[in-house]
Chain A
Amino acid sequence: MNTTDTLEITKDGSHAITINREFEAPIDKVFRAMTDPELIAQWMGPKYLTNTEVHNDAHHGGTWGLVQRDPDGNEYAFRGVFHGEQTPELSMRTFEWLGMPGHVSFETLRLEDLGNGRTRAHNVSVFTSTEDRDGMADSGMDTGVREGYERLDEILERL
Chain B
Amino acid sequence: MSDDQLDLVFGALADRTRRAILARLAQQDTNVGDLTGLFTMSQPAVSKHLKVLEQAGLVSRTKLGTMRLSHLEAAPLKEATGWLADYRTYWSESFERLDKLLESLD
Contacts and interface: CB of A to CB of B under 8 A. Distances in A.
Contacts of B23: 151, 154-155
B77 A156 contact: yes
A44 B95 CA distance: 8
Contacts of B40: none
A145 B86 contact: yes
A86 B61 CA distance: 52
Nearest to B86: A143
A74 interface: no
Given A4-B96, A46-B93, A11 B84 contact: yes
B45 interface: no
Contacts of A136: 83
Interface of A: 3-4, 7, 9, 11, 17, 19, 21, 23-25, 29-30, 32-33, 39, 42-47, 134-136, 139, 141, 143, 145-146, 149, 151-152, 154-156, 158-159
Contacts of B84: 9, 11, 17, 134-135
Contacts of B88: 7, 9
A117 B23 CA distance: 50
Chain B interface residue bracket vs A: 35 or more
A100 B36 CA distance: 47
Given A9-B87, A155-B26, A24 B101 contact: no
B101 A42 contact: yes
Contacts of B20: 151
Nearest to A7: B92
Contacts of B22: 155
Nearest to B98: A43
Given A45-B90, A143-B86, A151-B23, A29 B81 contact: no
Interface in B38-54: none
A139 B91 contact: no
A43 B101 contact: yes
A3 B98 CA distance: 11
B49 to A, nearest CB: 15
